[in-house]
Amino acid sequence: MDIIVQKYGGTSVGSVERIQNVARRVIETKQSGHHVVVVVSAMGDTTDQLITLARQIHKNPPKRELDMLMATGEQTSMALLAMAIDEYGYKAVSLTGYQGGIHTDGYFSKAKIDSIDPHRIQEALEKDQIVIVAGFQGYTDALEITTLGRGGSDTTAVAIAVALNAAKCEIYTDVLGIYTADPRMVSTAKLLPTISYDEILEMAKLGAGVMHPRSVELARKNNMPLVVRSTFDFTNDGTEIIEVKEMEKAQVRGVTLDEDIVRISVPNVPDRPGIAYKLFSSLINLNVHIDMILQNLNHDGFNDISFTVPLEDIDRIIPTIEAFVDEVGASPILVKKDVAKLSIVGTGITSDVKIASGLFGKIYELGINIEMISTSEIKISCIINQNQAQQALEEVHRYFEVNGL
């Protein structure tokens, strides 16, 4: 019998009725002749509430204890789901990350899964039980409990699907699937029946909030069929994530907006070899995600270097950049928080200059200045002012909708 892994997000298991709804869905899948392994998130916004509680007790909670605390969220939902399934007359067993054999490295709150020993899951399946595994958590060599970073249950689900050689991994969520833009921000966003691994990975990284990027990377690497679909509307097939070899024609598939970024500029950096190296190597140990980097030739012998970082990292990296400024004699840094990154995503779009010029033309028409641009094979991103970002998102989406989104 083949195995289907289903992951249910926090909203999907957010109440008693919703847990019962999930139980029925799981049972239906079982009845249609599959083994089912379910991965659950914590109910509703439990994880946020647990973090808030911790911060009321301690201004900077010890990471080990915070993971211990956060891991309880998923244990609540897995046990309740097992009970709901049992109440409907089916056999179910819930397993923690440890019991499910999910082994991770030791980085609390951002642990990575390094191996899975699925024997306990397999034994339960052989007994014809429905297996429910806590998402988002694992254990280390030292038998510590770790968590995988916010949204990490997606990654738990894909990793288990790969370890069990499942037929597919279904991600159940509160929207119908993957859209051409965030439907909460763009009312005309359309559901995509299919999207490529690369495109969804890019969209996830660009802040589309659809899936944990690591889960997509893992699925792509292992060719695990992935489906994103709704917990509340079983009639809709959702979005299938597929491998796309060649596109007939480059096409914009999605438009994203990330408002949680900051632009940092270091003006008047001496123009000599090794300077960029000095600046960015000083940031290595801070483990910060540097995104766009721009160096412009300024005036005799000096450059400006600008780059973007996630909003949450800004405070902890400023001292290091200021130390760099002092050392090389640059001007004081400029930090601009009211910026946003607007991106278009689609396989091969940078090879068609009509697409880039269409994007820039639309932004120009809106009277918005583009502060930085970066591209990859499948995306074009622009840094713009945050107060016009929402309008730009809608207008750019509309433009590409008319022009073949």
Query: Can you give the binding site for ligand ASP, defined by CB under 6 A?
Result: 9-10, 41-42, 47, 73, 135-136, 150-153
CB of 154 vs ligand ASP, minimal distance in Å: 6
Determine, following the binding rule CB under 5 A, whether residue 14 of this chain makes contact with Mg ion: no
In the complex with ligand ASP, which residue's Cβ is closer, 9 or 97?
9
CB-based burial label for 113 (10 Å; 0-12, 13-18, 19+)? buried
Determine, following the binding rule CB under 5 A, whether residue 238 of this chain makes contact with Mg ion: no
CB of 47 vs ligand ASP, minimal distance in Å: 4
Spell out the residues 6+ positions from residue 302 whose beta carbon is closer than 8 angstroms to its own: 268, 269, 270, 271
CB of 157 vs ligand ASP, minimal distance in Å: 9
Q: Which does 398 bind (CB under 5 to 8 A by kind): ligand ASP, Mg ion, none?
A: none
In the complex with ligand ASP, which residue's Cβ is closer, 9 or 177?
9
Cα–Cα distance measured from residue 182 to residue 167, given in angstroms and rounded to the nearest whole number: 29
Tally of CB atoms within 10 A around 125: 19
In the complex with Mg ion, which residue's Cβ is closer, 9 or 207?
9
- Chain centroid to CA 33: how far? 32
Q: Which among 340, 327, 398 has a CA at the least distance from the CA of 368?
A: 340
In the complex with Mg ion, which residue's Cβ is closer, 155 or 256?
155
CB of 389 vs ligand ASP, minimal distance in Å: 25
Tokens at 253, concatenated: 């598939």
Determine, following the binding rule CB under 5 A, whether residue 213 of this chain makes contact with Mg ion: no
Determine, following the binding rule CB under 5 A, whether residue 152 of this chain makes contact with Mg ion: no
For residue 342, the cross-strand partners are 257, 382
Q: Which does 136 bind (CB under 5 to 8 A by kind): ligand ASP, Mg ion, none?
A: ligand ASP
Contact call for residues 72 and 49 (beta carbons, < 8 A): no
Q: Which among 156, 41, 61, 148 has a CA at the least distance from the CA of 105?
A: 148
Contact call for residues 344 and 359 (beta carbons, < 8 A): yes
Determine, following the binding rule CB under 5 A, whether residue 73 of this chain makes contact with Mg ion: no
Determine, following the binding rule CB under 5 A, whether residue 151 of this chain makes contact with Mg ion: yes
Residues 268-287 that bind Mg ion (CB under 5 A): none
Beta-strand relationship, 302-310 and 254-270? antiparallel
Cα–Cα distance measured from residue 170 to residue 227, given in angstroms and rounded to the nearest whole number: 5
CB of 14 vs ligand ASP, minimal distance in Å: 11
In the complex with Mg ion, which residue's Cβ is closer, 173 or 343?
173
Q: Which stretch binds Mg ion (CB under 5 A): 13-21, 114-122, 151-159, 374-382?
A: 151-159
CB of 209 vs Mg ion, minimal distance in Å: 9
Q: Which does 306 bind (CB under 5 to 8 A by kind): ligand ASP, Mg ion, none?
A: none
In the complex with ligand ASP, which residue's Cβ is closer, 208 or 372?
208
CB of 197 vs ligand ASP, minimal distance in Å: 19
Cα–Cα distance measured from residue 370 to residue 89, given in angstroms and rounded to the nearest whole number: 60
Cα Rg, the chain, nearest whole Å: 23
Helix (H) or strand (E) holding 81: helix 63-87
Binding residues for Mg ion (CB under 5 A): 9, 151
